[in-house]
């Protein structure tokens, strides 16, 4: 395994760079787990450990988004509080399915999860362009709560592409502009990942050296990613994420 053949300094450096790249990605467009997860797989970390370690390691990257969109979030905090029960119930369910299930099941499902999330991420611009034309009423709010539970289950179980799934769901159910939706994405992603991280910290399966370096890297990257989003078009980052996601899913499917 590559992880066993590389000196620890190299492994730590790779994790740190992956964390910075993932943090920037999450700050700009989401999808940072598409960088951290395949990096850990390439270093020989088992899929289950790579998944839970990535979930914990990328957590700081979302905090910058809350700061960056605090003005847009001011009037939407009541909605975040309303969605909290669906988020908590969903992420707990997803984490339980992951930790109580057989590792072989996760290894079988994960390529399809990555592929599905990648395709959804790739079509994200098409979805978000329709946001301005969507109405808002009671039925959409019920759909939002049900959908938030389902997305949170996914977030607790795997989570790659969680941000774009949240944007897609909110784009179909809320009338807000993109900046407000980006702020909501950051806030809800932080909640979902924080709850999952607490569960994973208690239950284990974490690769400590990876979590520490990813945590540092995503904290740095998330800060700069949030600064860049106001002035940088995310198309290059989106192409990179989609390419990595497709390559990772194909690699896992044909191993």
pLDDT tens track of the chain, all 255 residues?
A: 455 578 889 999 999 999 999 988 887 766 788 889 989 998 989 888 999 999 899 988 887 777 777 888 888 999 999 999 999 999 999 999 998 888 778 878 878 888 887 887 777 667 656 655 555 567 788 989 999 999 999 999 988 778 878 887 887 788 787 778 888 988 999 999 999 989 998 887 789 999 999 999 998 888 777 676 666 566 776 677 778 778 878 877 876
Would you state the pLDDT for residue 184?
Answer: 92
- Tell me the domain boundaries of the chain: 7-253
SS (HEC) of 205-254: CCCHHHHHHHHHHHHHHHHHHHHHHCCCCCHHHHHHHHHHHHHHHHHHHC
Tokens of 44: 């020989």
Q: Please tell me the predicted confidence (pLDDT) of residue 201.
A: 87
- pLDDT score, position 129: 64
Residue 76, judged by CB atoms within 10 A of its CB (0-12, 13-18, 19+), counts as middle
| pLDDT at position 255 | 64
Instruction: Say which residue the tokens 């797989």 belong to.
Output: 41
What pLDDT sits at residue 78?
Answer: 93
Q: Within 13 Å and on the Cβ side, how many CA atoms surround 136?
A: 9
The pTM of this model reads: 0.82
pLDDT of residue 211: 94
Q: Rounded distance, CA 200 to CA 130, Å?
A: 36
* Per-residue model confidence (pLDDT) at position 120: 77
Q: What pLDDT is recorded for position 81?
A: 95
Q: What is the pLDDT of residue 103?
A: 75
With beta carbons less than 8 A apart as the criterion, state whether 222 and 63 touch.
yes
Q: 214 Cβ partners below 8 Å, 6+ apart? A: 15, 16, 18, 19, 22, 36, 53, 54, 56, 57, 58
Which residue, 51, 43, 53, 36, is CA-closest to 222? 36
Q: How many CA atoms lie within 13 A of 129 on its CB side?
A: 4
In the prediction, which pLDDT does 163 show?
A: 80
- Cβ atoms of 230 and 31 closer than 8 Å: no
């Amino acid at each position: 395994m590559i992880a066993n053949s590389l000196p620890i300094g190299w492994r730590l450096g790779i994790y740190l760079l992956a964390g910075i790249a993932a943090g920037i990605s999450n700050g700009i467009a989401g999808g940072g787990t598409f960088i951290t997860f395949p990096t850990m797989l390439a270093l020989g970390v088992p899929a289950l450990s790579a998944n839970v370690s990535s979930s914990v390691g990328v957590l700081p990257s979302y905090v910058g988004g809350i700061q960056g969109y605090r003005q847009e979030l001011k009037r939407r905090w009541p909605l975040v509080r309303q969605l909290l029960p669906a988020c908590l119930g969903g992420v707990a369910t997803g984490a339980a399915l992951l930790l109580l299930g057989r590792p072989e099941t996760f290894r079988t499902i994960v390529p399809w999860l990555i592929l599905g999330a990648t395709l959804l991420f790739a079509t994200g611009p098409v979805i978000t362009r329709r946001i301005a034309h969507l109405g808002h009423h009671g039925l959409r709010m019920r759909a939002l709560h049900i959908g938030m539970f389902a997305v949170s289950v996914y977030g607790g179980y795997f989570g790659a592409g969680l941000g774009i799934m949240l944007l897609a769901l909110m784009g179909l159910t809320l009338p807000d502009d993109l900046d407000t939706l980006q702020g909501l994405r950051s806030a809800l992603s932080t909640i979902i990942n924080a709850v999952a991280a607490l569960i994973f910290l208690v239950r284990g399966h974490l690769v400590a050296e990876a979590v520490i370096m990813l945590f540092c890297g995503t904290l740095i990257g998330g800060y700069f990613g949030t600064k860049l989003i106001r002035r940088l078009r995310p198309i290059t980052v989106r192409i990179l994420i989609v390419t990595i996601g497709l390559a990772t899913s194909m690699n896992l499917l044909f191993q």
